[in-house]
Structure 1
Amino acid sequence: MGAPGVVTGRTRPTKVKKQAGVLKRKREDVDVEKLEQAVVDIDPKNDKYTNFTDLPLSDPTKQGLKSAHFAVMTDVQATAIPLALKGHDILGAAKTGSGKTLAFLIPVLENLYRLQHIGTDAGLGALIISPTRELAIQIFDVLCKIGRHGHMFAAGLVIGGKSLESERQALTKMNILVGTPGRLLQHLSQTVAFNVDDLKMLVLDEADRILDMGFQKDVDAIVEYLPKERQTLLFSATQSKKVSDLARLSLQEPEYVSVHAEDRTATPKSLQQNYIICPIEEKLDTLWSFIQASKKSKILCFFSSAKMVRFVYESFRHMQPGIPLLHIHGRQKQGARLDVTAKFSAAKASCLFATDVAARGLDFPAVDFVIQVDCPEDVDTYIHRVGRTARYNREGRGVLFLAPSEEEGMLKRLENKKVPIELINVRQKKKQSIKSQMVHMCFKDPELKYLAQKAFITSTKSIYLQKDKEIFNIKNYDLEGFAASMGLPGAPKIKFLKDDGGNQPKQQSRQKVEVSDSSDEEEVGAIKAKDKPVRTKYDRMFERQNQDVLADHYKKLVRDGDGDGTSAEEDDFTGGKLGAKDDDDFLAVKRRIPAEDDGTNAQLNDEDKPIVPGGRVVHIAGASQPIIIDSNRREKLLKSKKKLTKLMDKGKKLIYDEDGNSHEVYELEDEKAFRAKGLPEEQRQKFIESAREVVAQADVEDKATAKAKRKEKARKRKERERNEETGIAEVDEEGGVQIEDTGEDPLANFLADAAYSDDDDEEVEPQPKKAKKWFESDSEGDERSSKKRKKGKKSKGTVVTEPETLEDMEALAAGLLG
């Protein structure tokens, strides 16, 4: 209903919800001026704020904080939020679990609210960048929780692992965007309608991780798209103060907020931190024993590689520890990672195996223990890992596993960063050994054994690639014992575990290998002596391999000899990262062939080059140069006839002269002899004339031959016609009778004639007999037929009697021949 006394023309009362919506939009237009004045009156340096109600915040933000039960501000929030509301650029550094997320989300909501940056026409107003997908999802959830009570901003989440097309359609309507660097850069470069020209605020959470080498290129590219006039907020537990990093982001007189800089420790006071001395071969036993002793706790275990996380999860799951097990790493699909984080957050007692993908920013409630099974690469990583527990003044405990060679260097660096940590011992009575169980599982399950081998490789690789060699020295670890603790019969033979010169023979060009001609016979004799005897069925039986899971992968993983080919994993270690001087190079030289060498066949006649170590010389029939066998790939070459033909010398076609001497089909003439015959043009004319004479003579001969053939053909035709008229058969020169060729088979005709009686020359259809009269007898009919037969014979004029003797047959034949 309208106001009293005013007719609105409505027949039904207006809905209450619509009225509230109209009033809310009008109230926003009114509150902006008051909020602007209140923000101007803020004095962050002199005033102290303890509650959120002390700040000049809008009503929707206050309602959101109240519904989420946020009342008292933390130190970083009380210091950073007033500065951010006034528009300052901020570098915020605070301990883990101190509430940094709200320290930048509240200024984002309030600054856009006062600017009335609402609706699809306004465009993107705030961009929040996170290093991991899980942290981006967590920030987006907190943003929705705080802003759902009255704010009308359109907020979106842009991370990898989701539909790119659906994000593109909704991207143009967003006012606040939370995402990871890779996907944001993809949209900035590929989505045409995505416009960031009117961006007001840029927020980088876990800024030290985003600004390091891992995301440097992506962040630099993103900043190029953004406008220069904007407010930038950087927050992290370990903040970077490098001038180069700040210059890249175009920060303007930033305020450095470090509320815990004067504290004695860089970690929360409620966090108890301990470390134990645990050799690498005893880590799995110690971890299993710890889980068995803490089945009612919430445990988070960190490893250095995704393969190790998978292996520990699969092997411990088979042994049924009595506590729910979960695992998360960067190679999982996005849906699986979200399910894992949700299950672990809701669980009261669980154990999560994770890589550093879960080390930053994630807020898992009530985590009791953080176990760092693999030593972190630096102190910053340690602080982020251990910060998953003891959050918001709660209690927690962190345990670090250190090998004896890692203890001194790591403790020194922790002390420099103000991280207090104490040594504790493991009770040997409660420690259990699971080595026999791991061996049994790897023997029973080939897939688990293969996973163990991959986990061993990635773990040793992570140690080998660490920059701090004072802590991480691959030679100080018992790798054979580590492999045995994982259930493997031995450590996989990986090239980087050997001396640094182990890769040099493979990088030598086989085209420069020298074979000594003087000692060929001695080498061949030595090779034959070293060759294996004849392979029996038992040899073939032991050479069989598992064709199900370990066929090709196992060959790449385990090398039986020193001269075998490198695997894909080894290429990553040697040629990929370790061998290359610069990781940023797009192209790398793998083999260099000299310009004077055509590269078609192996040149083995260089006397100054040594023979490849571990190789053997093989002479091939038909090839002037032997080949060097120094790898499995070269060994397989001997079994292919097609490939061996390419190594053989090419044959020459020879012709023989009248004297019996051999010559090549085409031979080059001496230059002096060629010049003696005259100028090239004269020789060409002589050759043309001689060739023309040869062609003319051949033409005359061909015409004469064709004319003789035509005459002979005409003569035979006339003779054949004359013989047909006289009825005389043609007689050949030898005196025999020439029978005309009718195209029929005489033998077939003879056999057909023999099948019939001598009386009938041709097959005659039998005539039906005339029916006898009633008064005729059988004998009368026979007599009548015989009389007719005699009359017919007399009409022919000649009576032929059947020959009875050989003389009669000869006389009959002479009479027929005339």
Structure 2
Amino acid sequence: MARKGKLTTAQRKQLRKQENEYIKDLITITQEYDPKTANAKLFKDLPISRNVLKGLSQSAFIKMTDIQKEAIPMALKGHDVLGAAKTGSGKTLAFLVPILEKLYREKWTEFDGLGALVISPTRELAMQIYEVLTKIGTHTSFSAGLVIGGKDVKFESERISKINILIGTPGRILQHLDQAVGLTTSNLQMLVLDEADRCLDMGFKKTLDAIVNNLPATRQTLLFSATQSNSLSDLARLSLTDYKMIGTLEDAKDPQKAATPSTLTQSYIEVALPDKLDILFSFIKSHLKAKIIVFLSSSKQVHFVYETFRKMQPGISLLHLHGRQKQTARTETLVKFSRAQQVCLFATDVVARGIDFPAVDWVIQADCPEDADTYIHRVGRSARYGKKGKSLIMLTPQEREPFLARLKSKHIEPEKLNIKQSKKKSIKPQLQSLLFKDPELKYLAQKAFISYIRSIYIQKDKEVFKFGELPTEEFANSLGLPGAPKIKIKGMKAIERAKTLKNTPRSLLSLANTNDDGEVEKKDKNVRTKIDRMFERKNQTVLSEHYLNITKSNANEDEEDDFMQVKRANHTLNEDDLPELSIPTSMRAQKRALSKKASISTKGNATKLVYDDEGVSHPVYELEGEEDFHKNGTAEDQKKTFINKESEVMSKVDTVDKQVAKEKKQEKKRKRAEVVRREQEAEMYDESDFEEPVAYVGNGNLSDDMGDYESDDEAPAKKPRYNASDFESEPESDEDNNVMEVEEPQTLEDLESLTSRLIKNNLAG
């Protein structure tokens, strides 16, 4: 008779049969579904399983967007999808829903391995996709994981073998494919590239090619972005042959359809490069009750503007975010900015793609983006999901006409705004005062200046970015610097190589340094390792080498080289004047000289040396007179005294050594016995009780810790774990002899426990 609440075999077979019939009906309905004639507007109108629909409705995803109406049915039918849609149009759900449906219809379990792989170009976007999956996948039973840079690789690799849906950045995914033992992709069903144009560019080309080479060719591939790549070579690399294009050709044919949302108000102002910081500070001061994102071209500029504006206190909370920050700081900044209502965030393009910030009022582009696609992604942080938003871009007179022409080709025509001179405030005197008082801020200003000049130099569009027309002196003065620092600009080949190395995983770099035989090639003598840089590190605020090189003004190079250097004068030394040094020539002598053990071997019987008037060392007996020697007795007596003295010392040391060796031997035997006892006790329990926990989409637990549940109701039904106290040996009692055998108490707690047990036993008797 079956227990109460437990299904019988017949009931389980009936449930499996009903589930199989339900999946067959879903597949049939999906193949017959036509998006054009169905005219579906809600998720429940699509042929989606009940568990996924339940997760969508609980997460407040009810109505579909245009990209979701077209992409989800095509993906459910098994087609490859190449999708492009406006920013904030819900592309994340357009590929997460097909992933869950694909694995559900294939009856995927944890034993089937990796079923879906989602690749994102940035860590923040990967984390956002992961969070959306936790919401809509609550009622499914698939395990999922997030792997990004900045996290514990060992922690991820120990659990990645049990993952069904893997989300991550290209470098970390490739690292796990090379190193993780249990991660196999032979059974992969679906590959998704979010922000595919960024993933396919030169920065991630080698990494992405290495990942794709490990994937089966029979997989289904989905590509999504606000600005899509239609290059045949890129699509061939991903094995896209029979694919459906959604939102790409249609937008290109219709001039009325721009890549930016219709609810976004776009504008621009023409401002000289030296006046940018004045305009930016004045804008922030006049919009203190708004949520603002300010995009700058480099991390050095972000750091400088954040630190200086923070000291000038504009009256609004300030945050900064760039790729050189640690992952914990980046995540913390994202959370703070998402929750705040009145805040200003200075950021690089690391958050320009796909990140869903709620209710952003203004997107300010203080520096001109590299192309029109980057402009589209930046302004897309505002006016998401039909909400209103505003954007403003600052263009210099050299950048204005050519860049507006680039935007017009994308059907984007921002309106021109005029600056009210009454609202404008110059902050140059304040910046000069701050830099004069704080050397660290001066150093940041110099680095910001250099990084901006280099960013203009490496731009490919020379019609927009005119390096030769930059007002360097005026720009340096606007940052608070007394003059423009000297800049050493590398060649374009070195810059391209640096950009490639930036996005190349370290595991690939190590492989690149090996020859065909697998031997590591010798590196250039000028290449410095991490340890070399650590020992060369100095105080970066006052006397460091790079600081002094940056702060060089128009002074002569000879005077700069003389700064705080000691030069020897009238101290010429000849080789004849130097003392002779006895350098060991043989390998054995060198080894003995460098060995610490050999150097202290004579510590117990040290040789005493005495120096004569000429400074030559001699053993003590060489300078001792015959009368002094006989005062201490005959040579035989002195020898016996010395031997007896040393024998006493050796006997004492020998006794201590024997005691230590005995204690070590006893401790080793005790540990061996303890291991045997624990192994015998562990045999009584099932090994499955000690498996590591896995994050399941079904209970909403997809955190990085993969084991933290918000409540006991959400946790999956699993056998209880056993603590170390559960394996402590219980006392064996002999009822006939009224004798109780216990282990000898080692601590005060053990003694108290034994006492209470004996009292209870006497009372019971």
What TM-score, normalized to structure 2?
0.65
1:225 is aligned, of 214, 221, 224, to 214
2:119 is aligned, of 129, 134, 140, to 129
The reply to whether residue 299 of structure 1 matches residue 296 of structure 2 is no
8 Å CA contact 2:443–2:541 kept in 1: the answer is no
Closer, same or farther: CA 157–21 of 1 in aligned 2, 3 Å: farther
8 Å CA contact 2:404–2:413 kept in 1: the answer is no
8 Å CA contact 1:301–1:372 kept in 2: the answer is yes
CA distance in 2 between partners of 1:548 and 1:21 (Å): 71
The reply to whether residue 198 of structure 1 matches residue 191 of structure 2 is no
The reply to whether residue 156 of structure 1 matches residue 140 of structure 2 is no
Matched with 2:178 is 189
Secondary structure of the equivalent of 1:172? Answer: helix
Closer, same or farther: CA 27–548 of 1 in aligned 2, 3 Å: same
The reply to whether residue 319 of structure 1 matches residue 309 of structure 2 is no
8 Å CA contact 2:71–2:246 kept in 1: the answer is yes
Q: Which runs of 5 or more residues in structure 2 are unaligned? A: 492-537, 576-624, 629-765
2:193 maps to amino acid: L
Question: How far is the alpha carbon of 1:25 from its aligned partner?
Answer: 7.0
CA distance in 1 between partners of 2:35 and 2:572 (Å): 80
Question: How far is the alpha carbon of 1:556 from its aligned partner?
Answer: 2.3
Matched with 2:29 is 38
Question: How far is the alpha carbon of 1:21 from its aligned partner?
Answer: 11
CA distance in 1 between partners of 2:570 and 2:243 (Å): 73
Question: How far is the alpha carbon of 1:47 from its aligned partner?
Answer: 3.6
Question: How far is the alpha carbon of 1:343 from its aligned partner?
Answer: 0.8
Matched with 2:519 is none
2:134 is aligned, of 107, 120, 144, to 144
Matched with 1:466 is 459
Question: How far is the alpha carbon of 1:642 from its aligned partner?
Answer: 11
8 Å CA contact 2:483–2:553 kept in 1: the answer is no
1:256 is aligned, of 222, 228, 245, to 245
Identity of aligned residues (%): 54
Matched with 2:482 is 489
Matched with 2:42 is 51
The reply to whether residue 180 of structure 1 matches residue 169 of structure 2 is yes
Matched with 1:216 is 205
CA distance in 2 between partners of 1:398 and 1:437 (Å): 28
Closer, same or farther: CA 49–552 of 1 in aligned 2, 3 Å: same
8 Å CA contact 1:207–1:236 kept in 2: the answer is yes
Matched with 2:420 is 427
CA distance in 2 between partners of 1:215 and 1:154 (Å): 27
Closer, same or farther: CA 109–559 of 1 in aligned 2, 3 Å: same
Q: How does 1:399-438 map to 2 (within 5 A)?
A: 399-438=392-431
Closer, same or farther: CA 407–24 of 1 in aligned 2, 3 Å: farther
Structure 1 runs (4+) deviating above 6 angstroms are 19-26, 633-638, 640-646, 742-745
Closer, same or farther: CA 480–255 of 1 in aligned 2, 3 Å: same
Matched with 1:97 is 88
Deviations 1:256-291 (A, max 9, x none): 101644233221111111000111111111000000
The reply to whether residue 349 of structure 1 matches residue 342 of structure 2 is yes
Closer, same or farther: CA 376–550 of 1 in aligned 2, 3 Å: farther
Question: How far is the alpha carbon of 1:560 from its aligned partner?
Answer: 4.6
Task: Tell me: higher relative CO, structure 1 or 2? Use CA pairs within 8 A at least 6 residues apart.
Answer: 2
When structure 1 is superposed on structure 2, of 467-476 and 287-296 the one drifting more is: 467-476
Secondary structure of the equivalent of 1:214? Answer: helix
8 Å CA contact 1:95–1:260 kept in 2: the answer is no
Rg larger in 1 or in 2?
Answer: 1
Secondary structure of the equivalent of 1:203? Answer: strand
Closer, same or farther: CA 332–24 of 1 in aligned 2, 3 Å: farther
Matched with 2:68 is 77
CA distance in 1 between partners of 2:315 and 2:67 (Å): 41
Secondary structure of the equivalent of 1:482? Answer: helix
The reply to whether residue 476 of structure 1 matches residue 457 of structure 2 is no
Matched with 1:511 is none
CA distance in 1 between partners of 2:540 and 2:97 (Å): 60
8 Å CA contact 1:405–1:471 kept in 2: the answer is yes
The reply to whether residue 275 of structure 1 matches residue 268 of structure 2 is yes
Deviations 1:466-514 (A, max 9, x none): 111111112222111111111111111224499xxxxxxxxxxxxxxxx
Number of positions where the alignment pairs a residue of Structure 1 with one of Structure 2: 528
1:114 is aligned, of 105, 109, 114, to 105
Question: How far is the alpha carbon of 1:181 from its aligned partner?
Answer: 0.2
CA distance in 2 between partners of 1:643 and 1:137 (Å): 66
Secondary structure of the equivalent of 2:234? Answer: helix
Matched with 1:240 is 229
Secondary structure of the equivalent of 2:373? Answer: helix
Matched with 2:651 is none
Closer, same or farther: CA 32–645 of 1 in aligned 2, 3 Å: farther
1:437 maps to amino acid: Q
CA distance in 1 between partners of 2:459 and 2:31 (Å): 50
Deviations 1:145-181 (A, max 9, x none): 0001x20000100100000001001100000000000
Deviations 1:390-419 (A, max 9, x none): 111111100000011111110111111111
Question: How far is the alpha carbon of 1:15 from its aligned partner?
Answer: 8.1
Secondary structure of the equivalent of 1:255? Answer: strand
CA distance in 2 between partners of 1:21 and 1:408 (Å): 71
2:354 maps to amino acid: G
8 Å CA contact 1:329–1:354 kept in 2: the answer is yes
8 Å CA contact 2:365–2:394 kept in 1: the answer is yes
Question: How far is the alpha carbon of 1:319 from its aligned partner?
Answer: 1.1
Closer, same or farther: CA 438–26 of 1 in aligned 2, 3 Å: farther
CA distance in 1 between partners of 2:13 and 2:81 (Å): 37
Secondary structure of the equivalent of 1:325? Answer: strand
1:54 maps to amino acid: D
CA distance in 2 between partners of 1:95 and 1:54 (Å): 23
- Over aligned residues, Cα RMSD in angstroms? 3.1
8 Å CA contact 2:122–2:350 kept in 1: the answer is yes
8 Å CA contact 1:450–1:550 kept in 2: the answer is no
Closer, same or farther: CA 640–254 of 1 in aligned 2, 3 Å: farther
Matched with 1:372 is 365
Secondary structure of the equivalent of 1:399? Answer: strand
Deviations 1:312-346 (A, max 9, x none): 11111111111111110001111111111111111
Matched with 2:616 is none
Secondary structure of the equivalent of 2:293? Answer: strand
Closer, same or farther: CA 24–483 of 1 in aligned 2, 3 Å: farther
8 Å CA contact 1:199–1:230 kept in 2: the answer is yes
Question: How far is the alpha carbon of 1:82 from its aligned partner?
Answer: 0.5
Matched with 1:457 is 450
Question: How far is the alpha carbon of 1:44 from its aligned partner?
Answer: 3.8
Closer, same or farther: CA 401–27 of 1 in aligned 2, 3 Å: farther
CA distance in 2 between partners of 1:25 and 1:286 (Å): 67
8 Å CA contact 1:265–1:420 kept in 2: the answer is no
1:194 maps to amino acid: L
1:430 maps to amino acid: K
Q: Which runs of 5 or more residues in structure 1 are unaligned? A: 1-6, 499-544, 565-628, 647-741, 746-818
CA distance in 2 between partners of 1:192 and 1:556 (Å): 48
Secondary structure of the equivalent of 1:184? Answer: helix
2:62 maps to amino acid: A
2:227 maps to amino acid: T
